[in-house]
Amino acid sequence: MTEKRIGIIMNGVTGRMGLNQHLVRSILAIRKQGGIELKDGSRLVPDPILVGRNAAKLEQIAKEHGVARWTTDLTAALANPDDAIYFDATLTGMRAPNVEAAIAAGKHIYCEKPLATGSEVALNLAAQAKAAGIKHGVVQDKLFLPGLRKLKRLVDSGFFGRILSVRGEFGYWVFEGDWQPAQRPSWNYRKQDDGGIIVDMFCHWRYVLDHTFGRVKSVQCLGGTAIPERVDEQGVRYEATADDTAYGTFQLEGGIVAQINSSWSFRVYRDELFSIQVDGTLGSAVAGLRECKTQHRVNTPKPVWNPDIENPFKFREDWVDVPNNQVSDNGFPNAFKVQWEMFLRHVAEDAPFPHDFLEGARGVQLAELGLQSWAERRWIDVPELS
């Protein structure tokens, strides 16, 4: 079987997401399985070069994971015609100039979200990429999680009837960094470093809502900073200037109302770190990252409000698991890996890939409007981007 090499410039692999989800669990996992099979029967095998600012870290990562190439010179890496794809998982504020340089170098581009710090910049990147004729994409990983894939299958099958509402809870307690190390980097809590949960999570909620239920038409958001002071990676106390909690309400096309709470200061009392409930006229479902349960109208209990007696219902027992009908021999593959394979096929053989820079700009737009809604304490319509 013929192997086809595809070179990938991977910038930002010294960070948590770039290293774990993109390098190890996606690109190196694809290499380990022998690449991905294309329509012509050949196998496309990624060949990464690791890029970053810290030579010692890059060298260590490359050695630990058997990667032959690394460099601290992004300009030189972009100048290599043998590497067709540029990937960016750097800090959000660094992304736009990196992507512009990659566009100028004629690379196809795939990057983490948010695409940029503002929707105007994100739209400009989309326009530049289109004019250059390159292929481009943004990570929208939650669409490929097992729980969300099962939920989408229910929506597409008409299980819910008319969907009435969507309610989501996301988050967990991120330690302050004093008596226990924080699970997230300190820049997440500094507005001046492009941190904040609205900027981070509203990009996710945009594509989840758009692609699963219907376009977001308007938004109302209340944010807050529950933990005003934290301790950074060097043990230094700092002021948390970015929001760590957001209560968002979204009106979707078709009259659906979605409410999603996001916080790094919630303690978890649910089955998974993310849970979303969908209620419709014919049935309901509750999905997490991996699991999904349903309750049809014929299985719905009939409680009557009476606080003076012990609750006679065991409500959780009236829900049924959605089976793993889409599961492969190896289970549900990593969500980031699934989307990476889609993008590689998009580059290699022009396979469909809807998650482009315009989609990324829509996510940034919703985050901006969420922040505006909070500041102005009002509902804001979401105009269509093109």
Per the structure block, which two tokens stand in for 290?
């991996």
What is the pLDDT tens value at each position of the chain, 386 positions in all?
799 999 999 999 999 999 999 999 999 999 999 999 999 999 999 999 999 999 999 999 999 999 999 999 999 999 999 999 999 999 999 999 999 999 999 999 999 999 999 999 999 999 999 999 999 999 999 999 999 999 999 999 999 999 999 999 999 999 999 999 999 999 999 999 999 999 999 999 999 999 999 999 999 999 999 999 999 999 999 999 999 999 999 999 999 999 999 999 999 999 999 999 999 999 999 999 999 999 999 999 999 999 999 999 999 999 999 998 865 545 678 999 999 999 999 999 999 999 999 999 999 999 999 999 999 999 999 999 98
Residues 148 and 126 in one domain: no
- Which residues span the domain enclosing 207? 142-332+365-376
Q: Based on the fold, state whether residues 244 and 101 are members of the same structural domain.
A: no
The separation between CA 270 and the C-alpha centre of its own chain, rounded to angstroms, equals 21
Q: Are residues 105 and 147 in the same domain?
A: no
User: Do 92 and 235 reside in the same domain of the chain?
Assistant: no
| 349 part of a folded domain | no
Question: Which residue, 8, 70, 6, is CA-closest to 35?
Answer: 6
CB under 8 Å to 210, separation ≥6 — which residues? 216, 362
126 within some domain: yes
Spell out the SS3 assignment of the chain. Answer: CCEEEEEEEEECCCCHHHHHHHHHHHHHHHHHCCCEECCCCCEEEEEEEEECCCHHHHHHHHHHHCCCEEECCHHHHHHCCCEEEEEECCCHHHHHHHHHHHHHCCCEEEECCCCCCCHHHHHHHHHHHHHHCCCEEECCHHHHCHHHHHHHHHHHHCCCCCEEEEEEEEECECCCCCCCCCCCCHHHHCHHHCCCHHHHHHHHHHHHHHHHCCCEEEEEEEEECCCCEEECCCCCEEECCCCCEEEEEEEEHHHCEEEEEEECECCCCCCCCEEEEEEECCEEEEECCCCEEEEEHHHCCCCCCCCCCCCCCCHHHHCEECCCCCCECCECCCHHHHHHHHHHHHHHHCCCCCCCHHHHHHHHHHHHHHHHHHHHCCCEECCCCC
Both tokens assigned to 161: 């009837």
Residues 259 and 209 in one domain: yes
Whole-number pLDDT of residue 331: 63
For the chain, the farthest-separated pair of C-alpha atoms sits apart, in whole angstroms, at: 75
Length of the chain equals 386
Cis before 383? omega within 30: no
- Gyration radius (Cα) of the chain, Å: 22
Distance CA 169, CA 270 (A): 9
Torsion angle of alpha carbons 362, 336, 195, 8, nearest 10°?
-90
What's the CATH number where 280 sits? Answer: 3.30.360.10
* pTM tops 0.75: yes
* Distance from C-alpha of 208 to C-alpha of 142, rounded to nearest angstrom: 7
Q: Are 304 and 192 members of one domain?
A: yes
C-alpha dihedral sign at 156, 160, 161, 165: negative
Q: Looking at the domain assignment, is residue 56 inside a domain? A: yes
N- to C-terminal Cα separation, the chain: 42
Rounded CA-CA distance 333/340 in Å is: 11
- Among residues 385, 321, 340, which one has the least CA distance to residue 120? 385
CA 361/CA 383 separation, integer angstroms: 12
- 257 and 371 share one domain: yes
Q: Indicate whether 122 and 177 sit together in one domain.
A: no
- 53: Cα within 13 Å, side-chain hemisphere: 5
Same domain, 125 and 220: no
Instruction: Give residue for tokens 């479902």.
Output: 285
The CATH number covering residue 105 comes to 3.40.50.720
In a domain, 355, yes or no: no
Does residue 243 form part of some domain? yes
In a domain? residue 179 = yes
Residue pair 50/67 in contact by the 8 Å Cβ criterion: yes
Which amino acid is it at 95?
R
Number of CB atoms found within 10 A of residue 236's CB: 10
Q: Are 91 and 11 in contact (CB under 8 A)?
A: no
For residues 43 and 31, membership in a common domain is answered with: yes
Q: Which amino acid is at 195?
A: G
Residue 324's pLDDT is what? 86
Contact indicator for 214, 162 with CB cutoff of 8 Å = no
137 & 178 share domain: no
Please answer whether residues 215 and 253 qualify as being in contact, where contact means their C-beta atoms are separated by less than 8 angstroms: yes
Do 182 and 312 belong together in one domain? yes
Is residue 136 domain-resident? yes
Question: Does some domain include residue 385?
Answer: no
Q: State how many domains the chain has.
A: 2
